[in-house]
Structure 1
Amino acid sequence: MNFIHKEVRIFNRTVPFIYIIWFGMAFAAVLAEILHHSINNYFVYKNVFWHTVHQRNLYLFYPQEYEDLNHYGPVFSILIAPFALLPDTAGVILWALFSAFMLLYAIRQLPLNRKATTAILFITALEMMTSIHNVQYNALVAAFIILSFTLVEKEKDSWATLFIALGFMTKLYGIVGLAFFCFSRHKWNFVMSFIGWLVVLFALPMVISSPYFVIQSYQDWWYSLVGKVAESVNNMTPTHMQDFCVQGMIRHGFNPSWFKDIQVLLPAMLLFGLPLLRFSKSAFLSFRLRYLALALISVVIFSTSSESSTYVIAVAGVGIWFMLQQPKPGKWAIAALVFVLLVTSLSPTDLFPAYIRNHFIRPYSLKTLPCFIVWLWLVWELTFKAFTAADEIGTVASKIE
């Protein structure tokens, strides 16, 4: 895999080869969707802006405009605005490339050496492409979570909380960044700036609409999310496209009449919070990076709304975990990564045997399984590993510049 670390010269500038792969995959994915007239999700996104401007209910079905329902918060109208104002082809291409750029930028900001971040990009690339193929928002969500962590590390809590609030108020997933409060050196600033950003982002859509409409839209958003969860949980067909989570594996694999999601969510929440009781270990950067990886995976594999394209968030976490296996990954870590790449990342593609995909992976939500194994591994490491100064040498940078 040394070729991914190489650089090439373009117009007298040196460009990392991984950038060409990364943006080439993103552009190819969005171009394929344009040529196949499959940019329905983009029509949903851009109309969040236009419906906000014209004060039309954001969460009704508009069959003359798109073939789905919007489930994003009202502030998404501001995020998508620069793209919605463009012609559709230009808007969707720039939206896709912007999403890819933000995730690349966020991963590059991690306090890891250059080879490590390049490897994480390589590990995440196929899931990024899957997200772009679906013209999805998930690559940006992953970027927001990672940036909230790196900005806390850089003691820029005011900016970190912007990305937490923005991720939360558009797709809820970003709220997981609040866990990084435990690593903040400026906790009062963290709390106050987070509250401040919530107020600003809540009110921001009022600039292009009205206070009454925006307040009503937040209420409508809540009901739309409740409906989406119910739809995901109750859809037991073999072709279901959501519920790719641990609960979904149990639900679709065994269909026990006694099973409730809380039976998974409560233990998962306890295990997610347990490592934070090791206060002294949070002084180690390798501990904090593992917790970031745990957060990225957790927010996907325990969400009933997770679909195939959501896994760009989780696989970015897997990449971080793998690059922290020092001094070099053992055979079981390599096997776990290969399992993730084959079953989680490759299974939705035409490179994977269609029979296995259609009769096993999708019906039983098995895309989740490899990431769940890495999640359990991370919980064990964060709870029991004896972190030392040696863990800070090598892949992990000695400090953040």
Structure 2
Amino acid sequence: MTLHAAPQRGLALLLAALSAIGPFAIDTYLPSFPDIAARLQATPLEVQQTLSAYLFAFAAMTLWHGAIADRFGRRRVILIALGLFALASLGCAFATSIGQLWFWRGLQGVTAGAGIIISRAIVRDLYDGAPAQRLMANISMMFALAPALAPLIGGWLQATWGWRSVFGFLVVASGLLLLLCAYQLQETLPPEKRQSLRPAYLLGAYRKIFSSPPFLFACAALSLNFNGFFLYVLSAPVFLMRHLNLPETAFLWLFGPGMLGLICGSWLAGRLAGRVSAGKAVYYGHLVMGAAALLNLLLSGILPPGLPWSILPIALYTCGMALAMPSLTLFALDPFPQQRGLAASCQTFFQAAANGLTAAVIAPLLWDSTFSLALGMAGSLLLGSLAALAYRRTLGRNSALLPG
């Protein structure tokens, strides 16, 4: 198969670009929240719900992207999803009311998940063991640039042309990626390995995956660890513009250090692949995240909001998060070698549902102070660590997630 011979770095770049559609759809328009509220005569909470509409639609559809890709192949589903995402972005650009924006943001969410889900399935189609862990780490390292660049690009577009130009940019970006995939992305799932879409088969497959304790605990650890950082992403307009008194073009203050941490952690995960066990990589990642969460609580408790101390612990946290992320992702997929797309769908659904809950409920409750945000990070990490320990117990001492 042609894609087998492609260099890992080139493949990682393409899969990272597909995975980045989701973060770009979230982060690029964050600097435009005040302008959207003013232009569409909406309240700040109504604008915030455009994010919730995206995330809940994203979560609902993620259950299907993998199953459809297991039936019809990876490439075809990717191309159709990118085309629909471009259409939804165009709808957002021309929305004349907050209700219309909710609708088109929901359609963006329906289509954006295909990239990240099918990218994970492609990795497992092609590689096993340390090579899969290394490729996943490389994808994470390149993918980490997206959340750093997205709000920076969005801030520039907002300051120059206003909020509609942000969605125009998403139309162009997704269109270019569609063309790239049409010419470069080869099919990785041969016809003889494709699965059925019969309701009875799907019901049994979903029941099998969602009743698997190792899958559930690995997904919980992955999602909760990520939510410790995603809480700041969702609260970025308040955190940066209100608490730190920064302008709409200064979102790089949050996303730059955060993504630098992701890049460093992903690089470490790639270097450790094949040298230490995947379980130890997760353990070391949790140690780093724990140190970051404690430092964040300390600094936000004794110092007023400001630079750089309100930002530095976030960079350390994302470093630990990225160190643990590739292994946790593979832990959730490995029990289902014949249904990797479906398992990736269920995994992404789990994380997207948690993200949607954080966007709709938790972030608005915690963004009033930097200390409450720090408490949210620490609480998410604590629950994620408990999920990792529970994963260890489901496998037994001999195949433990954590050393000891």
Same fold (TM over 0.5): no
- Bigger relative contact order, structure 1 or 2 (CA pairs below 8 A, ≥6 apart): 2
Relative to its length, the structure with more helix (as a share) is 2
TM-score by length of 2: 0.28
